[in-house]
Each structure stands twice: as structure tokens, then as C-alpha cells.
Structure 1
Amino acid sequence: MPDELPFTLDQLLIVRAIAQQGSFRRAADSLFVSQPAVSLQVQNLERQLGVVLFDRSGRKVELTDAGKVLLQYSERILKLCHETLEALADLQAMERGHLVLGASQTVGTYVMPSLIAQYHRRYPQISVQLLVQSTRRIAQKLVDGQLDVAIVGGEIPFDLQRHLKVMALAEDEYVLVGAPGCAVDSPALADLLTLPFITLDPQSSTRQTIDRVLNRHGINPAQLNVRLELSSIEAIKNAVQAGLGVAFLSTVAVGADVEQGRFQKLAVEGLQIRRTLWLAFNPERYQSQAATRFLQGLLTRQDWLKIPPPHLQLLG
């Protein structure tokens, strides 16, 4: 194989920009170069590779099959270039860096702020960014190399899990809560079918976890009297507090509210809903010093993580 490659990094950047923008002109604008320069680079690249990369016959420029293959590998090459720069920066400044974390909804809202605060007290020079999305989306971003570390409450899909390192981190419990003075104090399992429920949408990992446990206890979730389906935990908490119904909510989300009397815990006889929180990262991606220290803190319980977030039981 010859040492000299038939393409440059600049050409790969141009191919990616055209694929993203759908035209040579918009790609040129995004790269702050002239359109003739972009066209010339593509012509040279196609000549050197001996393939046609773009279909220019329509109103929008489309990748050919050869172009799609080149783009796929270009993304991997360019990602490695960025990781190389991160690695070199780490060598030059061990106490500086940027950490990009991911989390599912409940974890991102109620667990991550405490962990980030403890981490920041130990490493104040490192900036932290947190992305909160569904478990599947967070796992996909880990696979794509867009996140350093993530903590999620849902089961990571197998097609994504096989690309990641996934470890059990903590255990969370879901409890049934209502507004203070709720008429039902200790409902039996059968009573759940008579209560007005407020829930997340059926696609959420939290809702699916709860539904699976109810099914195992002989309660068909489809027969629950669901009065409201909302898109966030905070919205559910506000609706419960307003007396619109009851809800199964995580102890990290409502533990303090129950202790301070803002919610009433309704102990359901014979029912316990627990789920595992999972720590995940991409072992094939370069881990910066910032990410390594966050991982080590979680896995070894270093000084910045001696005390877990309230109402959360760390495993191990």
C-alpha cells in the first residue's frame, strides 16, 4: 500500500460539509471558502479516487454509494483527529479540560447536579456539559463518540450496548405518592385500578420499568385509570401536588418532598419497584483526563464522591 494517501483532511471536511448542506455553495459558505475552490477540490478527489462521489443531476446534491462509503470513514477519521488534539492538550495541561456527560431524564434532573457539583469542587478548572435525553439517544451519542460518560436509568438497547462498557452504578426505588391528606393511605394492589394516575408517556424508560413490575404483580397497566400523561417529572410532581392524581415517582425525585410533607407516600402492600442506574462509556473512544477522573471517582468512590446524592443507594 503506498504511503501517500489520495485525499487530504481538507477534502474530507469538504465532503462532509456538502453532505450536510446539500449543495456546493452552502458547503463553501459554511467553510468560509469560495464555491469554485470547493468544486475543484471535489473534482481532484474524484479523479484521484477514480469514483464519482456526488450526484449533481437534481436540485439537491446527493451522495453516490461511493460517496456514502467515503463519508462514513471520513467521520471516523475526523473524530480521531479531534481525539488526537484532546490527548495532546491533556499532556500540556492536566488540570484543564472539558467533560461532556449524558443522562436520562430522572438521572439528569435529580442525580447528575449533585455529582457534577462534587466533581467541580474537586476539579474546578474542568468545564462540564450535561445532555439530558432518552436512554436510547444517550447510548447512541456514546457510540457516536459525542459523549464522554453517561448515567441512565433505562435498559440500554442491545444493538448499542455491545459497543459500550456498561456497569451497574446505583439502585433507585419508585414509590407511589399523592397530595398531602390523600384519602387512600395504604392501598392494596387491587386498589391501584381505582386510583387516578399521572404518568410519563408510554415510550419513556421509567414508564416501561413501572409497567413491567406491575405486570409481574398481576396488574395490567392498560387498565389503570390514567388521568394525565405528561412529558417531565417536574410536571408530574406539580400535577400530584395540585391533587390531580397519584404517581409512581423516583425517591431521588420526591424523597425530600415526602420528608418535608409536600407529598404523601402511599405504601402499596407487597409492591416494590426498583431499577438499576447504569454507568456507560465508549471503550473505543479516547478518554480525556477530565473523563477519566470522573469515571475513577464513580468507580472507586474517591474523596469527591464519599456521599451519594440523597435517597440514592450506590452499588459496590
Structure 2
Amino acid sequence: MRPVLVDQLNFHHLVYFRAVARSGSVQAAARELGLAPSTVSTQVRALGERLRAALFHKRGRGLVLTDAGRAALRYADEIHELGEELVGVLAGQRADRSVELVVGVAEALPKLVVRELLRPALRIQPPVRLVCREDKSVRLFAELALHELDLVFVDAPPAAGGRVHSHLLGECPVVFLAAAALARRLRRRFPRSLDGAPLLLPSPESNLRRALGPWLRAHGIAPHDAAEFQDQALAMAFAQDG
């Protein structure tokens, strides 16, 4: 198979591709660009053929980006920004581009911890533009493998044999929190006192939840699962009510 040559790509391919990706259909993109739908469709198809990748798949009457399409869109956006900068520089304007750091954050991670981890990035010179995206770990790993993210913060490493590298940044103990009156009552025979006590649990996909189950069973504890929360701040608000 012959390699894809950069010379085979052109700016029009990317302009039409971006328009279709943003609008969700060839017809809407054609109206936006003031062109015939056949022209837009031909250019987008040519881009896919040159990249040897399917960029869209059909969903109902619209088009949805594939994984390859999402990766291509990120590069197309960057090329578009460079094109605008080039026009501005030649027109005598000063270029003012900042480096962008795109970070994925797992939903289960405490946001105060993430803030401390990212604080050094705000002191980088020249300044970087920080972009944070929150999602489930499995989706963040997929986007990282496609180079849609620069790095991710998660509460558990990826599965062995994946396409991303992981590094342990730190560990912390697990702390049970309760309203003052309930905490005084449960403290006496902890952790046995948790047996039958109301417990607000993290979401099942979190690493903490997966580790908590075996720990409770090992101690013969069967608490009352009162509720589960994906957002830790919301769980804290409910816990304060006792």
C-alpha cells in the first residue's frame, strides 16, 4: 500500500470536512458554504480516500464522526487556525497564539485534587491555554489514544496492552465522612459499626467503589446502601444531613 502524501491533501478538503462535521449533514454544510451538496460531498469523499479512513457514518438523516473523523477534525481545526493566523500576519497583524494543553479528567476524581495537579501548568511561560474535559475513564483513554487529549487524570490505570502509557502520581487513604452526631455513634466500634448503617456510595464505575466492596466483605460488614452518587460534592451535601 502506497503511503499517504501530504501533497495529496488540500485546504478545500478540510474546509468542507469541517463544515460537515460541525453541521452534521452535507446539505446543511452546503447551505452554509453556498455550494451544491454534490460539491461538498465529493470533496469530503476525496479527503477520506486520501486519508484511507472512514470519517463519518450515517445516523438517521445525519452524519456522525467516526474515531478517525474526530482525530481528523482536531487537526483540521488547528490547520484552520494557522490559516487564519497566516492571513492576519500578512495583513500586518501580530500573531498571538498560545499553546493549548487539553486534559481529560475522570468523573470520579475529586476536583480539588485535579486543581492541585494542574496548578503548575498555569505557571508555564509562555502561558498555555488549559482545556479540561470530564468523562468516564474508558472514553478518556480512547481519546488519548487518538491524540485528542494530551494527558488524562484517572483513578485507575488503563488495561494492560493498551495504546497509552500510565504513571502513578500518588495515593491517598479512604476516609468515611458523616454528620457529627452519626460520626460519634459510629466511631465506637468502627468499622463494625458500619454494619447496617446508611452508606452513600460512589458510582459503580469508580475505582473506589470497586475496592470498597471487597473491603466491606472482608470485614463482614453489610451496610444499608442508601444512595449512590457520581458527583462527590453532591454526596457530601447529602452526608451533611446525616
Q: Same fold (TM over 0.5)?
A: yes
1:203 aligned counterpart, secondary structure: coil
Contact 2:67–2:146 (CA under 8 A) maintained in structure 1: no
Number of the residue aligned with 1:34: 34
- Whole-Å separation in 2 of the counterparts to 1:227 and 1:72: 39
C-alpha deviation, 1:162, in angstroms: 0.9
- Whole-Å separation in 2 of the counterparts to 1:73 and 1:202: 30
The one-letter amino acid of 1:42's match is S
C-alpha deviation, 1:34, in angstroms: 2.0
C-alpha deviation, 1:196, in angstroms: 1.1
C-alpha deviation, 1:134, in angstroms: 2.2
Describe the superposition over 1:273-293 as per-residue Cα deviations: whole angstroms up to 9, x where unpaired. xxxxxxxxxxxxxxxxxxxxx
Number of the residue aligned with 1:144: 146
Aligned CA distance change for structure 1 residues 40 and 172 (closer, same or farther; 3 Å): same
Aligned CA distance change for structure 1 residues 96 and 208 (closer, same or farther; 3 Å): same
User: Unaligned 5+ residue runs, structure 2?
Assistant: 86-94
Contact 1:102–1:108 (CA under 8 A) maintained in structure 2: no
C-alpha deviation, 1:165, in angstroms: 0.9
Contact 2:199–2:224 (CA under 8 A) maintained in structure 1: yes
TM-score in terms of structure 2 length = 0.68
- Whole-Å separation in 1 of the counterparts to 2:17 and 2:101: 29
Number of the residue aligned with 1:179: 179
- Whole-Å separation in 2 of the counterparts to 1:4 and 1:122: 33
Contact 1:194–1:224 (CA under 8 A) maintained in structure 2: yes
The structure where strand makes up a greater share of residues is: 1
Which structure is richer in relative contact order (CA contacts within 8 A, separation 6 or more)?
1
Matches within 5 A, 1:11-50: 11=13, 14=16, 17-18=19-20, 21=23, 23-29=25-31, 32-36=32-36, 38-43=37-42
Root mean square deviation of aligned Cα: 4.1
Aligned CA distance change for structure 1 residues 47 and 233 (closer, same or farther; 3 Å): closer
Aligned CA distance change for structure 1 residues 59 and 34 (closer, same or farther; 3 Å): farther
The one-letter amino acid of 1:240's match is A
Q: How many residues align?
A: 217
2:129 aligned counterpart, secondary structure: strand
2:199 aligned counterpart, secondary structure: strand
User: Percent identity, aligned pairs only?
Assistant: 18
Number of the residue aligned with 2:158: 156
Number of the residue aligned with 2:107: 105
Number of the residue aligned with 2:89: none
Aligned CA distance change for structure 1 residues 80 and 24 (closer, same or farther; 3 Å): closer
The one-letter amino acid of 1:239's match is F
